[in-house]
Amino acid sequence: MLNCSFNGPHFDADKVFQPWLSQNPKPTFYSVFNYTPSDISRVLGMPFPVVNREHILSSMTISITEAMLDVILDFQPNSTLDIGSWTEIVYLHNTNKDKNTAYAFPDIAFDIVPGISWKNPDYDPYARQMSEKFLGKLIDAAAPTKSIVGAYINHIDPYLRDWQTMYYRNNWDRLRDVQTKWDPTWYFRFPRGIPPRK
C-alpha cells in the first residue's frame, strides 16, 4: 500500500511515478493511489490509528530515482507470518519550507516512510530484519546518485520489547549517562529522547 502526502503541486509528485506507470508492458501487480488514513482503515479493516505493533523507517531524499522506485514498489508483506507492509511518501515542496529554521535536511524533496505492522510479539525479530533489509536495499539503490541524505529506523514504540536497541543500537546506556549528567531533571524533553537515570 502506498500512502502519499503532498504539500505542493500534485503534478510534481506525478512526474516521479509516471515513468514507472508508463512502462511497456505496464505494471499490473500494483496500483498507486493517494491513500488517506480513512482509506487505509477501510482497506486493512482496522481502526485508525492502527493498534498493531509498528516498525517505522524514514529516508530523507533529494529525489526518487527509478532504481529507488523499483525498491519502494517491491516492498512485500510477509504473509506467512502475518506481517504487513506499507509505504508513505511525504512530498515536501520547496515553496512551503521555512528557510529560517535549523532543520537538519533543508534540501530534501521527499521523506520515504516505509512501515511494518504486526500483532504477534514473537514476530518482533522478523519484522526488524524485514525493515533493515528494505532500508539497505533502498540505500544501495540511492548510492549512485547520493539521493538519500539521511535515514533512520524506528520511532520509539513502547509495544516493542526492546525498542531502545532498535532505535539507539548499543548506545542506550552510554546516552543515558550523558543525559543524566547534563539534564538530570529531563527539562529538554523530546518524544524520542532519552530519560535520565533516577
DSSP calls for 21-41: HT-SSPP-S-------HHHHH
d(CA 91, CA 111): 7
At 182 the pLDDT is 92
At 171 the pLDDT is 85
Could you give phi then psi for residue 171, rounded to 5 degrees?
-100, 0
At 41 the pLDDT is 52
d(CA 162, CA 92): 32
Instruction: Sort 108 into a burial class: Cβ within 10 Å, 0-12 / 13-18 / 19+.
Output: buried
CATH code, 2-161: 3.40.462
At 140 the pLDDT is 92
Q: What is the mean pLDDT of each successive set of 10 residues along the chain, which is 198 residues long?
A: 49 58 51 51 50 73 85 79 81 59 64 82 84 86 86 59 70 90 82 76
At 49 the pLDDT is 47
- Could you tell me the three cell numbers for 135? 532500508
Is the distance from CB of 62 to CB of 149 less than 8 angstroms? yes
Instruction: Please tell me whether the overall predicted TM-score, pTM, comes out greater than 0.75 for this model.
Output: no
Q: Which residues contact 157 (CB under 8 A, 6 or more apart)?
A: 53, 54, 55, 56, 163, 166
At 104 the pLDDT is 54
At 17 the pLDDT is 60
How many Å is the Cα radius of gyration of the chain?
Answer: 18
Could you give phi then psi for residue 184, rounded to 5 degrees?
-65, -25
Residue in the structure block whose three cell numbers are 523499483? 70
At 178 the pLDDT is 93
For the chain, the structural domain boundaries read 2-161, 171-198
At 177 the pLDDT is 94
